[in-house]
């Protein structure tokens, strides 16, 4: 019950963040539900034992399919997690899309916005938003996931923002290919990395600035964009507007927000957020073992993962035919299968994939489920991608809590 109270507190706080949250009102009379459950279960031999003293209902609720209020993880800087209900559509609505900030959004309207391109280029230049809009525009759907999504699921527990399942979203991004900008500037020989600097500033001189780099070949990929629009609207400030990098298939630490400067260079970006943070050991290490710097690589490609969107965790579902829904994605390649099972079934069975396979996007899935009897169920899903990678039961531990992709599983009560 303490976990429910914490979630409710988060939801109450999110209501105070007016422009960031949208309330969904729905309530069920618990006593009436129990009376109805007793009546229907009384027709099943032995069913009354399930609700003998109401204990079997502890921790289970009926959930509104319209409850899309964002969950406040931190207020300063603002970090908001999407509820599972936000993932029932192909594109995540902007007002339900998670928000990740290191220092908070900068004041973007005080001066005309320009993007500077320099470093190992023949023709350094500055581009205004109007000039960027005159480039050929590309629109593509892509999934954005914070590297720390699922951090709370690791054991032993890991410090950091307590993301559960909702630091992810799928949007349609419109902008300019980064390759077009770099090729027009003229890339000099010896260039190997593209460093990016945003307009957000640290809260104190002792805090390192947040800037990153990606390899030149990834920068020149045709799906790497400088985005100006999100779901057909001008890119909101909370999501990096007016300019952010879009790197489909790669984790969100590479999708730099409030983009101000691009530096073509020989080396990776220096600094804490490139050389220390957002790095993983080449091979998993047990808790308590500190990897050497040479054994660490930047977090880039996401791993294969799936997520159940219906039923909700700890919800009450009816006995009879139900449809389990969800989403699945991967980094390189695309999702080819999603399997479903419960703790009362010995085998996995395939779900139906919806829509076309596309690298960098998620795929929706559904599977018919007809429980054999009332009671508590643990339902599970796992995904497989086109490279043959299968979602593991548990993600190997890492000290930063990055890239959790263990089986997605939740409990529900069938009545």
Average pLDDT, stretch 278-302?
94
Give the model's pLDDT for residue 44: 31
- C-alpha span between 54 and 57 (Å, rounded): 6
Q: Which two tokens stand for residue 331?
A: 């980094």
pLDDT tens track for 25-78: 222 333 333 333 333 333 333 333 333 333 344 555 554 556 789 999 999 999
Segment among 7-11, 210-214, 310-314, 410-414 with least mean pLDDT: 7-11
* The three-state (H, E, C) secondary structure of the chain, written as one string: CHHHHHHHHHHHHHHHCHHHCCCCCCCCCHHHHHHHHHHHHCCCCCHHHHHCCCHHHCCCECCCCCCCCCEEEECCCCEEECCHHHHCCCCCCHHHCCECCCCCCCCCCCCCCEEEEEECECCCEEEEHHHHHCCCEEEEEEEEECCCCCHHHCCCCCCCCCCCCCCEEEEEEEEEEHHHHHHHHCECCCCCEEEEEECCCCCCCCCCCCEEEEEHHHHCCCCCEEEEEECCEECCHHHCCCCEEECCCECHHHCCCCEEEEEEECCCCCCHHHHCCCEEECCCCCCCCCCCHHHEEECCECCCEEEEEECCCCEEECCCCEEEEEEEECCCCCEEEEEEEECCCCCCEECEEECCCCCCCCEEEEEEECCCCCEEEEEEEEEEECCCCECCCCCCCCCCCCCCCCCEEEEEEEC
Q: Does 260 score more than 50 pLDDT?
A: yes
Give the model's pLDDT for residue 352: 98
Comparison of pLDDT for 145 and 25, the residue scoring more? 145
Q: Does 402 score more than 90 pLDDT?
A: yes
pLDDT tier, 110 (very low <50, low <70, confident <90, very high otherwise):
low
Pick among 3.90.180.10, 3.90.420.10, 3.30.460.80, 3.90.1150.10: CATH of 97-298: 3.90.420.10
Pick among 2.60.40.650, 3.30.1490.20, 3.30.390.10, 3.40.50.300: CATH of 305-414: 2.60.40.650
Segment among 53-62, 106-115, 266-275, 317-326 with least mean pLDDT: 53-62
- C-alpha span between 192 and 214 (Å, rounded): 9
Please give the mean pLDDT across all residues of the chain: 87
Give the model's pLDDT for residue 396: 96
Average pLDDT, stretch 397-405?
97
Give the model's pLDDT for residue 65: 54
Average pLDDT, stretch 282-305?
94
Q: Does 150 score more than 90 pLDDT?
A: yes
Among 337, 327, 334, 336, which Cα is nearest to 307's?
327
Give the model's pLDDT for residue 58: 52
Q: Which two tokens stand for residue 305?
A: 């993962």
Give the model's pLDDT for residue 30: 36
pLDDT tens track for 306-361: 999 999 999 999 999 999 999 999 999 999 999 999 999 989 999 999 999 999 99
Half-sphere exposure of 120 (CA within 13 A, CB side): 14
Comparison of pLDDT for 110 and 85, the residue scoring more? 85
CB 235 within 8 A of CB 243: yes
Average pLDDT, stretch 82-87?
94
- C-alpha span between 393 and 406 (Å, rounded): 5
Give the model's pLDDT for residue 68: 83
Comparison of pLDDT for 263 and 109, the residue scoring more? 263
Give the model's pLDDT for residue 34: 34
Domain boundaries, the chain: 2-87, 97-298, 305-414
């Amino acid at each position: 019950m303490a976990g429910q109270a914490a979630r409710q507190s988060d939801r109450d706080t999110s209501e105070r963040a007016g422009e960031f949250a949208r309330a969904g009102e729905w309530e069920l009379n618990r006593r009436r539900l129990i009376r109805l459950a007793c009546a229907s279960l009384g027709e099943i031999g032995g069913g009354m034992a399930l609700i003998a003293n109401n204990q079997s209902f502890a921790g289970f609720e009926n959930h509104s399919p319209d409850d899309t209020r964002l969950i406040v993880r931190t207020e300063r800087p603002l970090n908001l997690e999407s509820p599972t209900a936000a993932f029932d559509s192909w594109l995540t609505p902007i007002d339900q899309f998670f928000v990740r900030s290191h220092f908070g959004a900068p004041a973007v309207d005080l001066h005309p916005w320009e993007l500077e391109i320099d470093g190992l280029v023949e023709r350094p230049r500055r581009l205004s938003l109007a000039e960027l809009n005159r480039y050929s525009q590309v629109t593509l759907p892509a999934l954005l996931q914070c590297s720390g999504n699922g951090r709370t699921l690791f054991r032993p527990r890991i410090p950091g923002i307590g993301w559960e399942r909702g630091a992810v979203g799928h949007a349609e991004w419109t902008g300019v290919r980064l390759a077009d900008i770099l090729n027009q500037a003229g890339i000099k020989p010896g260039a190997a990395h593209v460093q990016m600097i945003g307009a957000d500033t640290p809260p104190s001189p002792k805090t390192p600035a947040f800037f990153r780099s990606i390899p030149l070949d990834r920068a020149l990929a045709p799906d790497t964009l400088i985005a100006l629009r999100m779901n057909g609207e001008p890119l909101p400030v909370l999501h990096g507007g007016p300019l952010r990098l879009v790197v489909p298939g790669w984790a969100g630490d590479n999708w730099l927000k409030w983009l101000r400067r691009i530096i073509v260079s020989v080396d990776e970006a220096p600094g804490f957020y490139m050389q220390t943070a957002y790095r993983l050991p080449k091979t998993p290490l047990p808790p308590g073992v500190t990897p050497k710097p040479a054994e660490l690589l930047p977090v880039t490609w996401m791993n294969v993962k799936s997520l159940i969107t219906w039923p909700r965790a700890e919800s009450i579902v009816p006995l009879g035919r139900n449809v389990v829904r969800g989403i699945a994605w991967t980094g390189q390649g695309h999702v080819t299968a999603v399997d479903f099972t419960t703790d009362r079934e010995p085998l996995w069975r395939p779900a139906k994939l919806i829509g076309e396979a596309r690298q960098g996007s998620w795929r929706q899935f559904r599977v018919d489920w007809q429980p054999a009897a009332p009671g508590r169920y643990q339902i599970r899903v796992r995904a497989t991608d086109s490279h043959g990678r299968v979602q593991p039961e548990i993600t190997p531990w890492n000290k930063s809590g990055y890239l959790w992709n263990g089986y997605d599983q939740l409990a529900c009560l069938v009545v």
